Amino acid sequence: MAKEPKPSEDSIGYTLLENQDTDSNKIIHETSNLVNVENSEEIEEESDPEHKLTSTCETFWNICNTIQGLPILAIPYAVKNGGFLALMVMFIIAVTSNYTAQIIVRCLYDKGICADKSKRKRIRNSFVEIGQAFNSRFGGSLVLVTEILQLLFLSAVYPRMVGRMLANSFPNVVSIPCWLWTMIGGIAFVPNIFLQNLSQVAWTSIITVVSAKVIFVVVFTYSVSQYQRWELASLGNFDIHTFPAALGVLVASYLSQPFVPIIEGSMRNKKKFNLVMNLAYSSMTLLNVVIGFVAFISFQPNTAEVITNNLPEGSFRRVINIMAALLAFTSYTLPMFTIFDIVQTQSQLPFLRENFGAKVCCPDVLVFRTILVSCSVLMAAVIPRFAYLLALVGSIAGISMEFIFPPLFHSKLYFNELHWWELLVNILIISIGTFFMLTGVFFSGKSLFLLN
Residues 133-162 have pLDDT tens digits of 999 899 988 999 999 998 898 889 889 888
* CB-count burial class (<10 Å; 0-12, 13-18, 19+) for 355: exposed
Distance CA 134, CA 342 (A): 18
Q: Choose the weakest-confidence range: 352-361, 400-409, 413-422.
A: 352-361
Interval 412-431 mean pLDDT: 93
User: 21 lies in a domain?
Assistant: no
Amino acid at 430: I
User: 415 lies in a domain?
Assistant: yes
Bridge partners, 54 (sequence order): 267
User: 13 lies in a domain?
Assistant: no
Interval 359-380 mean pLDDT: 84
The boundaries of the domain holding residue 240 are 53-450
Percent over 70 (pLDDT), the chain: 81
* CB-count burial class (<10 Å; 0-12, 13-18, 19+) for 67: buried
User: 24 lies in a domain?
Assistant: no
If one counts the domains in the chain, the total is: 1
Ramachandran category for residue 219: left, alpha or beta (phi over 0 → left; psi -120 to 50 → alpha): alpha
Quote the pLDDT of residue 146: 92
Distance CA 158, CA 167 (A): 14
Ramachandran category for residue 355: left, alpha or beta (phi over 0 → left; psi -120 to 50 → alpha): left
CA distances from 387 to 203, 242, 253, 256, 373 (A): 29, 10, 14, 20, 19
User: 375 lies in a domain?
Assistant: yes
On average, the pLDDT of the chain sits at 79
Residues near 52 by beta carbon (within 8 Å), at least 6 away in sequence = 197, 198, 199, 266
User: 44 lies in a domain?
Assistant: no
User: 207 lies in a domain?
Assistant: yes
Q: Choose the weakest-confidence range: 1-5, 281-285, 328-332, 349-353.
A: 1-5
User: 410 lies in a domain?
Assistant: yes
- Tell me, what CATH number does 160's domain have? 1.20.1740.10
Ramachandran category for residue 385: left, alpha or beta (phi over 0 → left; psi -120 to 50 → alpha): left
